[in-house]
Structure 1
Amino acid sequence: MGVYAISVAAELVGTGQQNIRQYERKGLLTPERTDGGTRRYSEQDLATLRRIGALLDEGLNLAGVKLVLELEAANRGLTEDNRGLADHNRELRADNKGLRKDLKEARTERDAQSGPGTH
């Protein structure tokens, strides 16, 4: 939820308001807006602004920063997907183990009822 005005966000991350506006124009972040159109920055927006600053300090241009941010977001999404798949896989393995146990018990019971040499 956006709570910080652009002046506060700029001060908190140590950059200028014009830089923040430029980052928005380049699609690096999209702050929330009030009904009157005033930008409001969230803690996540501040983290993004700090990340932009760090990448710029490393020598990337804004196009490079945008690509890195997009790749990092995609990586986070894939990591979350992978966790979900791993959890689902564990559930399936547990179900499979239970089904194998049930099948073994059913076969043992069937063999006991049919007697020796009748299967």
Structure 2
Amino acid sequence: MSYKEKKVITIGVVSELTGLSERQIRYYEERKLIFPERTKGGTRKYSFTDVERLVDISNKMEDGMQTFEIRKMEQKQLRQTELREKMLRGQLNAAFNIRK
């Protein structure tokens, strides 16, 4: 796991880094756009990747997008990525005559 993926940053620090209020960050979590981990005590922990994602979400919201549009767009991108990976695995399996 990359250091960018480790969930170690508290919501207060994320707020300072992104310029978003803690309330906005929690709202994006409620809308299923961001997925922090929780400590045993319930504290949210974010990664640097999450911070980048929050900035991207904020920019899209400023451009007039709605949260459901952002989620829908990201789901589409994920499906496309998964399809590309599946096709690539198929091509590699065919090229090297790998059978499952």
Same fold (TM over 0.5): yes
RMSD: 1.7
Alpha-carbon shift at residue 83 of structure 1 (Å): 2.1
Given the alignment, which residue of 68, 75, 100 partners 2:73?
68
2:3 is matched with which residue? none
2:20 is matched with which residue? 15
Please give the per-residue CA displacement for 1:65-115, whole angstroms capped at 9, x wherever unaligned.
Answer: 1111222222222222222222112212xx8xxxxxxxxxxxxxxxxxxxx
Distance 1:4 1:81, change over 3 A: same
2:33 paired with 1:28: yes
Distance 1:82 1:57, change over 3 A: farther
Aligned residue pairs, count: 93
Structure with the greater alpha carbon radius of gyration = 1
Please give the per-residue CA displacement for 1:34-63, whole angstroms capped at 9, x wherever unaligned.
Answer: 111100001221232122123213221111
SS state at 1:69 partner: helix
Percent pairwise identity: 29
2:42 paired with 1:41: no
RCO greater where, 1 or 2, for CA within 8 Å and sep 6 or more? 2
In structure 2, runs of 5+ residues without a counterpart are 1-5
In structure 1, runs of 5+ residues without a counterpart are 96-119
Distance 1:36 1:79, change over 3 A: same
